[in-house]
Chains A and B, each alone.
Chain A
């Protein structure tokens, strides 16, 4: 194989293939969780590919955005497919990041030495949600317009920096064409760049540290534990999952298309049924339930402070869960995780019922 040799003499291919072959993936009841991160990665790749294709026809601006998306889905060949895949894959992307996060949480994979992997993962989730928030406005339809007004207004209620943040997001005091231009820049340039760097760090950490196993597995004697080689055994299974996901997306895109809705009009009254994307629903529903005033502060601010606190605690789990580093499962953190999952599901379902 002369090409292999040619390359090997220049870029040390041998050490890479050796690494891939040496890498072992633990086999136990939780092996299937290891696919979730990979699926998230695949969905991101789909977003990058379809997103770049959409850029070729999409025109930001209050008078052109809606029309250009309409053009994409009605005139451009397979334009509808690109938009549908981008929209569906965006939603699955966030769903899989959530699933991935909760499985590594319950497997205690955040314990030493993988704290940095957890931190980078939380940042990636936040960025993914910002991806969704900024992308949602781009078709410039009524639903997205008011959802963005509400979303950025919530950011504006944050103490001290709120005012700056609101104007930073909206590029002015109101959601307007300037906001759209800004969201476009954030969506197609800033976020992809930052996300790619962080994802690189996240993956490098995973590769260099290997797969983590839950405490019970680690307690087992070495001869009781099973492994499979990462390459080709695990990598091929990864690929199979990706193929299934791609088919699921194709089915969803064809049978459950996303509607474009009506064009945004800043001088129209908000219609009933304004709602954010589903992954913001649990927070949105909570804000809705909080009364106008709690104690002496506005309900909105109260809600924001609660979520900020919750987010910081969740982020700092590797530091706060002291037992995990001794390979002990703490009951407290297990129940916090379970309650959080229940809370998110209940609030989300509730949000869609009313």
Chain B
């Protein structure tokens, strides 16, 4: 090996060593920073409570796993449930009984009671959840279960 080649060889070894050294520090740190999945993330259905206690023309937000879900009881008694987080920038939406619409106060976004975005900045509809009443108890389940 010439002197030149030997120098190059040592440079490569040194560079690769330094890179590996850095990677072996950065890898565990980057993994550590993302928290582990918590078990309740995989909830597929929840009980909300007795149907008779849920007033017509009202709504409430419940925890579905770690996600907030808005459940709505229309004037005519129909039950609807949607992801409560606005598709625009993630604020929690609210039910407007007078107009039977879902409203996001953050930037004035509107959805209809099928979850469709009808005005304002929201780019997508709200995800739907399935509502059933079993023996007088309201149960919400995620769509992919059905």
Residues of A within 8 A of B (CB): 146, 149-150, 152-154, 164, 167-168, 171-174, 176, 178, 266-274, 287-288, 290-293, 298-300
Tell me which residues across on chain B come within 8 A of A150, comparing CB atoms: 89-91, 106
Residues of B contacting A269 in the complex (Cβ-Cβ under 8 angstroms): 61, 70, 84, 92-94, 105
Provided the pairs A149-B90, A267-B63 are in contact, do residues A274 and B117 lie with their beta carbons within 8 angstroms?
Answer: no
Question: Out of B68, B90, B104, which one reaches A153, CB within 8 Å?
Answer: B90
Which residue in chain B gives the minimum CB-CB distance to A288? B107
Q: Are A153 and B89 in contact (CB under 8 A)?
A: yes
B residues near A178, Cβ cutoff 8 Å: 35
Q: Are B35 and A270 in contact (CB under 8 A)?
A: no
With A268-B61, A270-B105 given, is the CB distance from A146 to B91 under 8 Å?
A: yes
Interface contact B93-A171, CB-CB below 8 Å: no
CA gap between A157 and B92 in the complex, in Å = 18
- Tell yes or no: B121 within 8 A of A by CB: yes
A56 CB, nearest partner CB in chain B, Å? 27
**Chain B residues, Cβ within 8 Å of A173:** 41, 66-67
- Count of A-B contacts judged by CB separation below 8 Å: 80
Q: Whole-angstrom distance between the alpha carbons of A167 and B107 in the complex?
A: 24
Nearest Cβ distance between residue A47 and chain B, in whole angstroms?
A: 25
Q: Considering the complex, which residues of chain B in the window 85-125 have a beta carbon less than 8 Å from any beta carbon of chain A? A: 86, 88-94, 104-107, 117, 120-123
- Using A150-B106, A168-B34, A178-B35 as known contacts, say yes or no to A292 and B117 having CB atoms under 8 A apart: yes
| Among candidates B34, B35, B106, B117, residue contacting A146 with C-beta atoms closer than 8 Å | B106
Whether B62 sits at the interface, judged by CB under 8 Å, is yes
B71 to chain A, nearest CB (A): 11
> In the complex, are the beta carbons of A293 and B123 less than 8 A apart?
yes
Chain A residues with Cβ below 8 Å from B68 are 174, 266-267
**Residues of A close to B33: CB separation below 8 A:** 168
CB distance from A193 to the nearest CB of B (A): 15
Would B61 and A274 count as touching, CB distance under 8 A? no
Complex Cα spacing A105 to B35, Å? 42
Other A-B pairs, 9, CB within 8 Å; known A270-B92, A270-B105: A150-B90, A168-B33, A172-B38, A266-B92, A269-B61, A269-B70, A270-B93, A270-B104, A274-B105
User: B34–A300 contact, CB under 8 A?
Assistant: no
